[in-house]
Structure 1
Amino acid sequence: MSTFGMRRTTLAAAGLAVASTLVLTGCKDGNEDVAPAGPSASATAPQPGGPASPSASASGGAPSSPAAPSSGGAAGAAKPGQQYKIGEAAEFPFASGSTKGQIALSVTKIEQGQAADLDVLKLGDKVKGKVPYYIHYTVKNTGTTDLSFTSVSHVKGLLGDGTEAQDLYIIGKFDKCKDDSLPKGFTNGQTQTSCAVALAPSADTKVAGAKYWGDPFTLKEGLTWK
């Protein structure tokens, strides 16, 4: 993602009851300098020889090269760069590690949150002035492979002018936007809803669309919903 001048940054926050690991990333024409957040008041410093504190890592490496989509669905398999309306489903071959199958993905709603929603994450000035948007999407297994415990991520927000919104990846519990791996027994016909967080730079800018750029697509030629 060097074309977008992405700077990888690791942010960690720990709570008394629930520990969450976060990655705040930005893909823009210029570098966005985001310094690591300091530990919250409730964070516990790691002790020598003790368990490691929560950590985060930005997704690395170049996006997978597009693979030829297999046929499927009434309108055929989705093609790189194809655009859909909110609520419409895109069907395509899906891969997660060594597991390969086929899914139908639909962005069902883009919901504006409140800046105060982020307070629980204790990111301070790193998200000052930014507004979270919650991208709700549904995954359906339309193939013959059991996709138990795989993860359908790589969903980004798009601003009104088509540029990419800033991502906020959360590993742990965030009730405003739950993002879980697919459950056990996720076979043909099974569905699950999930959510991705995108940050608008200010209250005057909205996240108006979404993009999926996971395998077999790329960041430049992903599927979009508006």
Structure 2
Amino acid sequence: MNGIHTRKRMWTLVGLAAVGALTLTACNDDPAADTASSTPPPAAAPTTPAASASTPAAASPSGAATSAPAAAPATGGGTDATPGQTFKIGQPAQVQFTSGSTKGVIALSVTAIEAGDPADLAALKLGDKAKGLVPYYVRYSITNTGTTDLAYTSVDHVKGLLPDGSEAQELMIIGGFAKCANPSLPKGFTNGQTAQGCAVALAPAATKVSGAEYWGAPYSLGKGAIFWK
């Protein structure tokens, strides 16, 4: 399948997430901001975009990559994180990861939560929807610890948390955003390979984003997620 990079008009909308938390969605076709596009996979592989490397990635092992059948789950040999479990920032959690028909095991770790500048949002043209809000960049590391090639899959479902434990407002970006880029995992993402992800969370100026949660399957929002604080 040939890679096609489709530019989209910049637009914004406000919607309600499944649990009632306010979410802002923005499209950005600014070429300068679109720093990380990825090559679409073969027809059998998922193409959903995911978070990208905006911090240096860990060294990857050399050698030929091998792939397990997409539908075959892999085990990392450790103990899976349990719903409700809390980790320290920088501490990895073992996750049984699923993206479409692809199953594998990853070590997922929120590595940093960085306060941005409200001016960072200007390119997204959110207008009054972002008034009084400060962007925070939740950066996380993804390491393939299983036997399945996870190329072109998406590791998202990461949200910021406020100091009281409530969810920060989420900013979903369609297109590129240089401050927090989000391509899918690269080709040949096999055992030992590491990539960096980023999610944007918004908080009122009077508070901050101090933690994060992952609620992708087999986890769920709220008490069913895993947390970093």
Q: Which TM-score applies when normalising by structure 2?
A: 0.70
Question: Which residue type is aligned with residue 180 of structure 1?
Answer: P
Structure 1 position 192 matched with structure 2 position 164: no
Give the structure 2 partner of residue 160 of structure 1: 163
Alignment match of 1:174 (pick from 172, 177, 186):
177
* Offset from partner CA, 1:103-130 (integer Å, 9 cap, x none): 0000000000011100010110011111
Would the alpha carbon gap of residues 206 and 25 (structure 1) be closer, same or farther in structure 2, given more than 3 Å must change?
farther
| Cα distance between partner residues in 2 of 1:23 and 1:91 | 35
Give the structure 1 partner of residue 212 of structure 2: 210
| Cα distance between partner residues in 2 of 1:100 and 1:29 | 26
Would the alpha carbon gap of residues 140 and 92 (structure 1) be closer, same or farther in structure 2, given more than 3 Å must change?
same
| Cα distance between partner residues in 2 of 1:99 and 1:22 | 31
- Uncovered stretches (5+) of structure 2, i.e. residues with no partner: 1-6, 31-72
Give the structure 2 partner of residue 81 of structure 1: 84
- Residue aligned with 1:107, SS: strand
Question: Which residue type is aligned with residue 217 of structure 2?
Answer: D
Structure 1 position 99 matched with structure 2 position 102: yes
Would the alpha carbon gap of residues 141 and 113 (structure 1) be closer, same or farther in structure 2, given more than 3 Å must change?
same
Would the alpha carbon gap of residues 33 and 25 (structure 1) be closer, same or farther in structure 2, given more than 3 Å must change?
closer
Question: Which residue type is aligned with residue 152 of structure 2?
Answer: F
* Offset from partner CA, 1:43-95 (integer Å, 9 cap, x none): xxxxxxxxxxxxxxxxxxxxxxxxxx986455x11111110000000012100
- Uncovered stretches (5+) of structure 1, i.e. residues with no partner: 1-16, 43-68
Higher normalized contact order (CA 8 Å, seq sep 6+, divided by chain length): 2
Give the structure 1 partner of residue 50 of structure 2: none
- Residue aligned with 1:117, SS: helix
| Cα distance between partner residues in 1 of 2:144 and 2:134 | 32
Shift of 1:165: 0.4
* Offset from partner CA, 1:135-190 (integer Å, 9 cap, x none): 00000000000000000000000001000001001121101111221001000000
| Most deviating of 93-102 and 169-178 | 169-178
CA RMSD, 1 decimal: 3.0
The answer on whether the counterparts of 1:106 and 1:139 sit within 8 Å (CA) in structure 2 is: yes
| Most deviating of 85-94 and 18-27 | 18-27
Identity %: 58
Aligned residues: 179
